[in-house]
């Protein structure tokens, strides 16, 4: 896992340790199990886990399962799988927010007894109306001054299921004139008659995140609650809850900028919509920014954390170019991926001066920069396949691949010379007729002539048919945060974000490729054997790296 450079969070911790040298640093990652984790989640995981590791502390995974209407075991399982895949072990343990429901209820009763909370009968719309605006203070609820006894009775009856959803809320009594809207008597409990995925029908009232989260942090001994910047305005409420419940020692919240990536949506709500409407092939669609989608696409934990580390830790808003992520995986795979031959758009070549039925083998390196990885034998025969892009009947200037009157090197084997072409009824090339210089197998021609172009090839008979999938950005707009108010994500969905090549062919050595195994298809790009569909290879990234480091 990529080590974390010093940043403002570490400066805060260093100061805390000067004051209290015995402080045991304890962080957490609190995902809501209502969807699959995405690459933005990877930043929060990396920051929290690596901060704990740097200071010899503990790192918790805690499921924020306080809203039963959207949560489920499918997402609980996927979150844990993603953490394990990333190598971010929850050294402090795995917890569930729902395990603290009894304590949250107990502390809510404490706030009522202290006069710090009250039961309110305003509807959601009325609450918004009473809340005020950024320039005008809010109005107190007509039920703000209920007695402690009445509030205790009503809250108990809420718990016992006497009221329908939305009929009442429990609100913190803070300051309706606060310049921070989050402090204007926020709701801390609501009625939801929905069974919980772990608690069943035990509860019909549930604490809201801003109330439950600081309590959970405090009960688990979290010292530094590190979260994304949208929670900055919620920090005063976090501190208020910790103080008024009476915790000592107290956890503290610190915020960092979210990870925004070009051409990428991080909204779990919209990602769920893409899945449920069938616009993508599930949460693990290789075009999705989900961690399971990136995994299926062929990205590695190391490349993702390398990307997060290079993006940096700060409070400043920024949008990171997705090409940096591509650069990180390309850099890794250039060193680690075995080389193989694939023809994505095959066109037939017949070598007219090579005997029918004969097969010979040429050795190709598994990795040119790592001879210790050995070689494999690739068969050569009379009938070959080359990529359609490596031939042109009417070539542009400086076209150094196969063309009329031209000659190219077949990678690792003979020189190939164009002789003629067969066209179909529509005038399209059906077959190219060529000859090879049989004296040039892996060597130079005796007459010293120079051949500039080298192309890859496969024997038609021994190659394996597969489907290759090429992916592009899922969204056409670079910064999805710049979408006009009258538009939505759907207006910028890239309808050409995937290209299926069902007639691709690969060398026979890939017959034993395992799902998830990565390769460089020479001259083509980096590919991974798909984990969902047989005989399918997904392009991870191309070979060309345009990102400027």
Name the residues annotated as catalytic: 32, 258, 268
Q: Kindly state the tokens that stand for 52.
A: 């704990």
Both structure tokens of 154: 């009503």
Give dist(CA 225, CA 248) in Å, integer: 15
Which tokens sit at 241? 């809850």
Contact residues for 469 (Cβ-Cβ < 8 A; gap 6+): 286, 498, 499, 500, 501, 530, 536, 537, 538, 539
Q: d(Cα 507, Cα 338) in Å, to the nearest integer?
A: 13
Contact of 25 with 211, CB cutoff 8 Å: no
- State how far the Cα of 169 lies from the Cα of 143, in Å rounded to an integer: 11
Note whether 26 and 53 are within 8 A (CB). Answer: no
Residues in Cβ contact with 412 at an 8 Å cutoff, skipping those fewer than 6 apart: 362, 363, 364, 378, 442
Locate tokens 């001994």: which residue? 221
399 contacts: CB under 8 Å, gap ≥ 6: 392
Distance, in Å, from the CA atom of 52 to the CA atom of 27, rounded to the nearest integer, reads: 6
Per-residue CA distances from 475 to 138, 281, 293 (Å): 40, 16, 15
3-state secondary structure of 18: helix
């Amino acid at each position: 896992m990529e080590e974390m450079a010093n940043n403002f969070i570490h400066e805060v911790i260093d100061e805390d340790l000067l004051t209290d040298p015995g402080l045991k640093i304890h962080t957490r990652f609190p995902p809501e199990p209502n969807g699959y984790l995405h690459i933005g989640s990877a930043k929060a995981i990396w920051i929290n886990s690596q901060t704990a590791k740097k200071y010899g502390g503990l790192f918790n995974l805690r499921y924020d399962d306080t809203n039963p209407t959207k949560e489920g075991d499918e997402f609980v399982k996927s979150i844990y799988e993603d953490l394990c895949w990333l190598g971010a072990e929850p050294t402090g343990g795995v917890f569930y927010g729902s395990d603290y429901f009894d304590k949250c209820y107990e502390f809510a009763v404490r706030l009522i007894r202290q006069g710090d909370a009250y039961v309110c009968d305003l509807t959601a719309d009325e609450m918004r109306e009473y809340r005020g605006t950024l320039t005008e203070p809010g109005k107190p609820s007509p039920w703000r001054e209920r007695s402690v006894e009445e509030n205790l009775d009503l809250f108990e009856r809420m718990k016992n299921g006497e009221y329908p959803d939305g009929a009442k809320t429990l609100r913190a009594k803070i300051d309706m004139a606060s310049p921070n809207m989050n402090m204007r008597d926020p709701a801390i409990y609501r009625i939801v008659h929905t069974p919980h995925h772990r608690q069943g029908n035990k509860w019909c009232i549930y604490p809201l995140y801003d109330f439950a989260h600081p309590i959970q942090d405090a009960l688990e001994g979290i010292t530094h609650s590190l979260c994304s910047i949208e929670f900055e305005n919620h920090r005063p409420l976090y501190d208020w809850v910790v103080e008024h419940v009476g915790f000592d020692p107290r956890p503290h919240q610190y915020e960092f900028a979210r990870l925004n990536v070009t051409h990428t949506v991080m909204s779990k709500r919209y990602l769920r919509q893409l899945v449920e409407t069938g616009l993508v092939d599930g949460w693990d669609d290789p075009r999705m920014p989900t961690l399971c989608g990136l995994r299926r696409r062929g990205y590695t934990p190391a490349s993702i954390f390398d990307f997060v580390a290079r993006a940096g830790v700060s409070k400043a808003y920024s949008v990171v170019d997705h090409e940096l992520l591509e650069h990180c995986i390309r850099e890794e795979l250039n060193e680690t991926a075995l080389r193989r031959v694939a023809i994505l758009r095959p066109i037939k070549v017949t070598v007219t001066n090579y005997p029918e039925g004969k097969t010979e083998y040429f050795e190709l390196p598994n990795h040119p920069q790592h001879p210790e990885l050995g070689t494999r034998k690739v068969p050569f025969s009379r009938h070959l396949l080359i990529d359609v892009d490596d031939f042109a009947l009417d070539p542009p200037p400086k076209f150094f691949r196969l063309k009329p009157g031209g000659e190219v090197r077949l990678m690792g084997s003979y020189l190939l010379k164009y002789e003629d072409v067969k066209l179909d009824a529509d005038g399209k090339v059906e077959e190219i007729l060529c000859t090879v210089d049989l004296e040039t197998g892996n060597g130079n021609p005796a007459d010293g002539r120079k051949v500039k172009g080298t192309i890859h090839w496969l024997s038609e008979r021994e190659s394996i048919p597969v489907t290759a999938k090429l992916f592009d950005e899922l969204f056409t707009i670079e910064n999805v945060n710049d979408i006009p108010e009258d538009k939505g994500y759907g207006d910028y969905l890239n309808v050409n974000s995937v290209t299926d090549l069902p007639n691709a062919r690969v060398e026979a050595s890939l017959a034993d490729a395992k799902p998830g195994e990565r390769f460089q298809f020479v001259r083509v790009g980096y590919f991974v054997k798909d984990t969902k569909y047989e005989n399918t290879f997904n392009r991870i990234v191309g070979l060309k790296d345009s990102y400027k480091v």
